[in-house]
Amino acid sequence: MSRRSGILEFAVLGLLRESPMHGYELRKRLNTSLGIFRAFSYGTLYPCLKTLVASGWLIEEPGSVPASPPATSRGVAPASSLAGRRAKIVYRLTAEGKEHFEELLSHTGPDAWEDEHFAARFAFFGQTEREVRMRVLEGRRSRLEERLEKMRASLARTRERLDDYTLELQRHGMESVEREVRWLNELIESERSGRDQRRSSPESSPQQDTTGATGGLPRHRDNTRPDPSDDTK
Amino acid sequence: MSRRSGILEFAVLGLLRESPMHGYELRKRLNTSLGIFRAFSYGTLYPCLKTLVASGWLIEEPGSVPASPPATSRGVAPASSLAGRRAKIVYRLTAEGKEHFEELLSHTGPDAWEDEHFAARFAFFGQTEREVRMRVLEGRRSRLEERLEKMRASLARTRERLDDYTLELQRHGMESVEREVRWLNELIESERSGRDQRRSSPESSPQQDTTGATGGLPRHRDNTRPDPSDDTK
DNA sequence: GTTTTCATGTAACCCGTTACATGATTCA
DNA sequence: TGAATCATGTAACGGGTTACATGAAAAC
C-alpha cells in the first residue's frame, strides 16, 4: 500500500499507452527513449508495475509463453504443471489506466515544473493538449527565473568572499539556467504561433501523427544524421 | 552508526575548514555559496553533524550562549538547571577532521565524476592540488563523453519512431552535455597553461589567496552586473 | 506584545538502489 | 555445453524529505 512514485508511474503509463510491453523492455525505454530519464532499476520498476496492476490500471498478460511444450522435449518437465512456469509478462494499459493517464496529463500542479518531473511531462507532450503544454512550459520558465534571481542575489551578496573556482562554478550554473530559459522561450514562441494541431477530442488515439503534425517546433541543427563512422557496435 | 553521505559530509567539512559555524548558517551556505548544491534539510544536516562529531572530526562549542540567566525571568524556570539550556552550537574542525578532509580531497574515485559529486569537488578546487584537479576534470569529461556516445547511439537507433517533442528533448539534453564538455575543455586547457599556484605543501592554510592566485581560469562575460537593458529578453 | 527569523532537533516515511536469487533463451 | 543475455523478482539498506516539537532573539 505505497509506492506512489509520481514520475515513474507516469512514465510507465505513458509508455504502455503507446504499446504493451514487458518490464525488461520497459526499463530500457525508460533509460533511452525518453530524453533525460535516469536508469530506474528493476528493484524499482517491478514493484511499481505490481501496484499499478493492483490499482487496476494495468493488466498482466502472458507474453510469448512456451504455452504448448515446444518440440524440443529436452527440458525437464516441471514437476507440477501448476507451479507457474515463469514467462514473459506483458503489461497492457486498461481502459481505467488510460483514463487515469489522461487525467495526469491534464492537471498541472507546481510539482510539474521541477527538473525531472518537467522532463517527464515534456516527453509526453505529443499526447498533451496545447493549452496544458503552454501552462507547463510557462510554469517551468517562471520556476527557473525565480531560481535565477536567487542565484543572482546570493552571488551579489557574496562575490567578494569567494575564490575563483566557486565563482566559476556559480557562473556556469547560472549560464545553464539562462540557457534553458532561452530554450523555453523558443518553445513557447513556437507553441504560440504553431497551429493547434492536437485537438481537445478525448478520442484521439496515439501512434499515428508522425506526419509532422507537431507543427511549429523550432528548427535546430540536426546532430543525429547517420554519421558514417558511427557503428556503436 | 550510519549516515555516511559522502557529499554532504564532504561539503560540511570543507565549509567548516574555512571557518567554524553553527548548523543553521552552514545550511544556508550549502544552498547558496556553493554553486550547484541543492538545499539539504535540517533533518539531514543535524544528524550528519552529530556523526561527524562522533567520528572526532568536529567538536561542538558553545556559541553566543546566554551564559548567565537573562534578566527576563518570564520563562518558566527549567525544573532542573542541568537540563541544558539550548543555545547556538558552533562546530569547529578538529585536527583529525582537517586531516580527513585533506585525504578526501586527494583521492579520486570514479564516484567523483558523477553530477553532484563533481560539483562538490569543484567547489573546493581552491584547496585542491593541481594534479588532483586535473584528474577530476578529465574524469568528469570522459564520463560525459561516454554518456554522449550512449545518447547518440540510442538516438540513431530510435529516431524514426519518436515524435518531435521527444526528439527535441533528447536534442536539448545532448546539447547540454556537449556544452559542459566544452566548458571542461576550457578549464582543462587553462589548468594546463596556468601556473601551479597551489603548491603541494601540506601546510598551506586556506583563507588568503584571494589575490588572484588561481591564475588561469578562462575569462567569461561577467553576468552579475546590474545589467541595465537585459530583461532576460 | 506579537510576529518573524534564527536555531536545534526527532520520528515517520519515501523513493530508490544494491546485492542477491532464480530461471529461460540464444548463440558460439 | 557453457556463456551471455533476457527476464522476473525480493530483502536490506541508504540517503534524503516532511512534518512536527521546541524555544530564543530580533523586528515591527
pLDDT tens digits for A165-221?
988 999 999 999 999 999 999 999 999 997 555 444 444 444 444 444 445 677 776
Give dist(CA A177, CA B45) in Å, integer: 27
Residue nearest to nucleotide C19 (CA to C1'): A43
To the nearest whole number, what is the mean pLDDT of chain B? 78
The DSSP bridge partners found for residue A62 are: A89
Q: How far is the CA of B85 from the C1' of D25 (A)?
A: 14
Strand C: residues with CB below 7 A: A 2-8, 38-44, 66, 75, 78, 85-87; B 22-25, 42-43, 46-47, 49-50, 63, 86, 88-89
pLDDT tens sequence across A22-37: 999 999 888 876 766 6
Mean pLDDT of B163-178: 92
**How distant is the alpha carbon of residue A137 from its chain centre?**
15
Which of B150, B154, B164, B231 best probes binding to A when mutated, by most A CB atoms within 10 angstroms? Answer: B164
Which chain A residue has the Cα nearest residue B34?
A166
Kindly report the bases of strand D lying within 7 A of a protein C-beta atom.
6-12, 14-20, 23-25
Which of A116, A168, A221, A222 best probes binding to B when mutated, by most B CB atoms within 10 angstroms? Answer: A168
Mean pLDDT of B59-71: 59
CA–CA min distance B109, chain A (Å) = 21
Q: How far is the CA of A24 from the C1' of D5 (A)?
A: 12
Question: Is residue B141 scored above 80 in pLDDT?
Answer: yes
Give dist(CA B122, CA B128) in Å, integer: 9
Which of B31, B33, B147 best probes binding to A when mutated, by most A CB atoms within 10 angstroms? Answer: B33
Q: Are strands A89-93 and A21-22 parallel, antiparallel or unpaired?
A: antiparallel
B147 by Cβ neighbours in 10 Å (0-12 / 13-18 / 19+) ranks as middle
Q: What does the DSSP 8-state code read for residue A161?
A: G
Nearest to A122 among B165, B176, B232 (CB): B165
CB A7 within 8 A of CB A30: no
Please name the residues in contact with B26: beta carbons below 8 A apart, sequence gap of 6 or more. Answer: B12, B15, B16, B45, B49, B91
Give dist(CA A11, CA A37) in Å, integer: 9
Three-state SS annotation for chain B: CCCCCCHHHHHHHHHHHHCCEEHHHHHHHHHCCCCCCCCCCHHHHHHHHHHHHHCCCEEEEECCCCCCCCCCCCCCCCCCCCCCCCCCEEEEECHHHHHHHHHHHHCCCHHHHCHHHHHHHHHCHHHCCHHHHHHHHHHHHHHHHHHHHHHHHHHHHHHHHCCHHHHHHHHHHHHHHHHHHHHHHHHHHHHHHCCCCCCCCCCCCCCCCCCCCCCCCCCCCCCCCCCCCCCCC
Packing angle of the helix pair A130-158, A164-193 (nearest 10 deg): 160
Packing angle of the helix pair A7-18, A95-106 (nearest 10 deg): 120
The more confident residue out of B33 and B96 is B96
Least confident of A25-29, A108-112, B9-13, B64-68: B64-68
Question: Is residue B38 scored above 90 in pLDDT?
Answer: no
CB A87 within 8 A of CB A65: yes
Phi and psi for B86 in degrees, rounded to 5? Answer: -75, 130
B-chain residues within 8 Å CB-CB of A227? 152, 156
Closest listed residue to residue A183, CA positions, set B144, B162, B222, B169:
B169
Q: How many CB pairs under 8 A join A and B?
A: 120
pTM listed for this prediction: 0.80
B-chain residues within 8 Å CB-CB of A35? 166, 169-170, 172-173
The upper half-sphere exposure of residue B177, i.e. CA atoms within 13 Å in the direction of its Cβ, equals: 22
- The predicted pLDDT at position A195 comes to 58
Question: Is residue A149 scored above 80 in pLDDT?
Answer: yes
The more confident residue out of B101 and A61 is B101
Question: Is residue B233 scored above 50 in pLDDT?
Answer: no
